[in-house]
Amino acid sequence: MDSIFLQILNGLDKGGAYALIALGLTLVFGTLGVVNFAHGAIFMLGSFCAVTTQNLLTYSKKVKDESITYFEAFKEVPYLEIWWGDTGSFIIDYKVPFSILLAIPVMLLIGLAMERGLIRHFYNRPHADQILVTFGLAIVIQEIVKSIYGANPIPVPAPAIVAGSASIGSWIGLGESVVYPWWRLIYLANALVVISAVFSFLKFTTYGMVVRAGMQDRETVGLLGIDIQRRFTVVFGMASVVVGIAGVMYTPILSPDYHMGMDFLVLSFVVVVVGGMGSLEGAVVAGFMLGVLQSFAAMNEIKSIFPGIDQIIVYLVAVIILLTRPRGLMGRKGVMED
């Protein structure tokens, strides 16, 4: 029972990450009709916003390290700590939350620049061209990040106060032994908040209504005098922010490296397709569903019956869904069937 509860929690957590990435991908696809293979790279850039914040906050004074005698080595003391003492350390400790403040404008700008500079010219090109050019962009972005930050993962720990685990079991009567990391709970909450925010924006604001209308029928919206293109540009920026926040918040769970975007990319495409191309609800549902299934497949009891199932479960589910429900769980007719 305990372990099943924890695995569900794990799955939701993982699903939260999938759902956020897939949501951004679907927003872009649903509005602009562009299959964006650079989406994973944007996620990675979000993570590196956190790394950059960390680097900025811990920008250090170099002091000669006397303990190393063979060569000139330096100890680093962050200026923030020199200037502000404990307050400085406190700020450094809270770098991940702070980096969201950096990530929002940065990701928005990156998104807008990408749409204006590149994606815009590919609306009327075949999907294959879109895939290829954004794939090329993804490679370029990740190689640039690699040349700046190196190839190894860079740890960006969560604030010390939430570094440990919550004794979640005692809250719901499963006993003290059932614990779950604070940061993962925060991540899950964050994912739910961001997802709700996106849906509320689309559902309850006029701007959102226009975007929804545009996703369904951009021509008619244009015939009503609305410059849907400009709004879609903003949506692209928004999708970048959504996935950027997902990236920032994920850093304490997975130390970011330049390649993490590619690792998520294939998976997020599977999620989007399982959910149904162009369906935002589908992306979220499929994200959580695949997360939970993946989590269960990793249980020893299940692996002992089907060896290797944890390695293929996501793809297996994708195949089954696509064969039984041709347009994914919640897909619409006529999307991407040309």
Question: Which parts of 237-256 interact with another protein (CB under 8 A)?
Answer: 252-255
Q: Using CB under 8 A, which of the segments 84-92, 106-114, 238-246, 263-271 binds another protein?
A: 263-271
Residue 315 binds another protein, judged by CB under 8 A: yes
Q: What's the rounded Cα separation, in Å, for the pair 24 and 28?
A: 6
Residue 13 neighbours by CB distance under 10 Å: 22
* Closest distance of CB 91 from another protein, Å: 18
Instruction: Tell me the site size for another protein, rule CB under 8 A.
Output: 107
CA angle 338, 287, 277 (to 5 degrees): 15
Instruction: Considering the complex, state which of residue 244 and residue 310 has its C-beta at the smaller distance from another protein.
Output: 310
* Binding positions for another protein, 53-92, rule CB under 8 A: 65, 67-68, 70-73, 75-76
* Binding positions for another protein, 186-225, rule CB under 8 A: 206, 209-210, 212-213, 216-217, 219-225
Six token digits for residue 123: 């609306």
Q: What's the rounded Cα separation, in Å, for the pair 274 and 79?
A: 49
Residue 143 neighbours by CB distance under 10 Å: 11
Q: Contacting another protein (CB under 8 A), which of 104, 112, 299, 329? A: 299
- 64: DSSP letter: E
| Single-letter code of the amino acid located at 78 | P
* Closest distance of CB 308 from another protein, Å: 4
Q: Which of 120, 129, 185, 191 has its CA nearest to residue 158?
A: 185
* Closest distance of CB 101 from another protein, Å: 23
Six token digits for residue 299: 């249980």
Residue 305 binds another protein, judged by CB under 8 A: no
Q: Are 68 and 74 in contact (CB under 8 A)?
A: no
Residue 266 binds another protein, judged by CB under 8 A: yes
Instruction: Considering the complex, state which of residue 105 and residue 319 has its C-beta at the smaller distance from another protein.
Output: 319
* Closest distance of CB 254 from another protein, Å: 6
